[in-house]
Amino acid sequence: MIIITKTQELIDFCKKCSAYEYVTLDTEFLRERTYYSKLCLVQMAHPGNTEDSAVLIDPLSPDLSLDPLYELFKNPNVVKVFHAARQDLEIFFIDKKIIPFPFFDTQVAAMVCGFGEQVGYEKLVRSICNEGLDKSSRFTDWSARPLSNKQMHYAIGDVTYLREIYEFLSNKIKNNKRQAWVEEELKILMDPETYTIDPKYAWRRVKTRSSSWKMLAAIAELAMFREKYAQQKNIPRNRVYKDDCMMELAATRPKSLEDLTKSRLLLRDARKGQIAEGILNSIRQADKYKSNDVERQTPQKEKAQGKEGLSELLRVLLKAKAEEFGVAAKLIATSADLDQIASGEKDLNVFKGWRNEVFGKDAMRLRDGKVALSANGKNVIVVEIK
C-alpha cells in the first residue's frame, strides 16, 4: 500500500490524477478535543485496478504540503468524488478557503436515485459492489503513527469502492436525466457560507422550549460568547459549558462571581477567569435587549393549529411521490415543510426547481382543494376535482 509522505510524491500522484475524468477522496480526522477538525489522513484514488491507483496521503508528515492536492481541486476537468462530504469539505475550506470543483457527493446522488435517506457508504458498498466492509477501525486514533495494517486497509477501502459507486450512480442519474437535481442539491455543499460559522448565530444550535424573550436573549448572548471562546482556544463548545448549563445560566442570570459559585452545572474552571467574565458580560448584554430584538434574532414559525388533517394528507402525497420518482422523501420535503404548506406558507424550497415539479405543484393544488387523493389498488393517485 502506498503512503505519500513527501510533497514531490504528492505532486507526481496529482499529475497522474489530472489525466482522468474523476478522482475519489475521503479523510480521517479527530475532533473530540478540538473545535476545528484535525486532519490526520487523506485517501485518494483514480480509475484503475493497479496498486498505485489508490494512495494514502499523510498530512501529519513534516515533509509534505497539501498544496498539490489543492491545485487538483481547482482543475475543472477532474470531478472530485466524496461520500457525505460535509465535514471533509469543511476541513479543506477552513485550511485554504478552497472547495473542490467540479464536485460529486455519492450520498446526495444515492438519495436522488432512491437508496433512502442519508444512506451510508457501507450500504452502498453492499448494494452496488456486492462487498462487505470491516468498520472496526472507524473510531481508532488516526493521529497515531505508524498506522496499523488494519487502519490502512480500512482507509483505502473508502476510496477504492467509491469508484464503482460513483460510476454506477452517475450513469443512473444521466439515464434518468436528473443531473440538474443533483447539481441543485450540491449547491449547499459548494457554498462557502455553509462552512463559515458566525458566533452571532450560534443560538440556532441550542434547543430550548422557552418562549420567554428574556430567556432567549440570554441564550443568544451566552451562545455567542461560547462560540467565540471555543474558536479562539480551539476547544469543543462543551468544554466551555454545556447546553444544559447555558439553560441554567439564562434562567438564573448571575450578576457576580459569587453568583456563579451557586451554579449546579458550571464547571469549576469556568467560575473564574475569562469564561466567568464572558458569562457575566453576556448576561449584562442580554439585559439591554427589548422584546422585538429577540424576535428579530430568533424567528420561529409555529406549527399551525387545526391543520393536522391537511398535514397528514400532504404526508401521504409526499410518500406517494417519493415512491413514484424513486427519491428519498426527506430530500423532497421535511415534516416542518409539510406543516408550513398546510398553514399557507408559499416561500419554501419545495416550491422551487425539481421539488416543485415532483411534489410542490400537487401539494399546492391539494391544499387549495383542486385535487384529491385516491387509490387504484396499488398506488396513491392524484385526482382532479372538477
DSSP for 48-65, written as a single string: SSSGGGEEEE-TT-TT--
Q: Are strands 22-30 and 79-82 parallel, antiparallel or unpaired?
A: parallel
pLDDT tens digits along 110-141: 999 999 888 999 999 999 999 998 877 888 99
The domains of the chain, with CATH numbers, are 2-195 (3.30.420.10), 199-297 (1.10.150.80), 308-384 (1.10.150)
Rg (CA), the chain: 25
Residue 153: its pLDDT value, please? 95
Q: How far apart are CA 81 and CA 103, in angstroms?
A: 6
Q: How far apart are CA 373 and CA 380, in angstroms?
A: 7
Let me know: does 203 contact 219? Beta carbons within 8 Å.
Answer: yes
CA proximity to 255, closest of 277, 229, 224: 277
- Helices 335-342 and 308-325 meet at what angle, rounded to 10? 130
Residue 251: its pLDDT value, please? 95
Q: State the cell numbers at 139.
A: 473510531
- Angle among Cα 150, 156, 161 to the nearest 5 degrees reads 125
Residue 144: its pLDDT value, please? 95
Q: How far apart are CA 1 and CA 351, in angstroms?
A: 49
Q: State the cell numbers at 280.
A: 457575566
Q: List helix spans (H) across the chain.
A: 7-17, 67-74, 86-96, 106-112, 121-124, 149-175, 179-190, 213-233, 237-240, 243-252, 257-260, 273-286, 291-297, 308-325, 329-332, 335-342, 353-355, 361-367
57 CB-near residues (< 8 Å, 6+ apart): 3, 4, 10, 41, 42, 43, 44, 64, 66, 69
Cell 509534505 sits on residue: 64
Q: Dmax of the chain from CA atoms?
A: 74
Residue 304: its pLDDT value, please? 54
Q: How far apart are CA 284 and CA 46, in angstroms?
A: 56
Q: How far apart are CA 33 and CA 22, in angstroms?
A: 34
Backbone angles phi, psi at 27, to 5 degrees: -135, 160
Cell 427519491 sits on residue: 327
The pLDDT profile of the chain, 386 residues, written as one tens digit per residue, is 899 999 999 999 999 999 999 999 999 999 999 999 999 999 999 999 899 999 999 999 999 999 999 999 999 999 999 999 999 999 999 999 999 999 999 999 999 999 988 899 999 999 999 999 887 788 899 999 999 999 999 999 999 999 999 999 999 999 999 999 999 999 999 999 999 889 999 998 898 887 788 999 999 999 999 999 999 999 999 999 999 999 999 999 999 999 999 999 999 999 999 999 999 999 999 999 987 676 555 444 555 555 788 999 999 999 999 999 999 999 999 999 999 999 999 999 999 999 999 999 999 999 999 999 999 878 899 999 97
Cell 441554567 sits on residue: 248
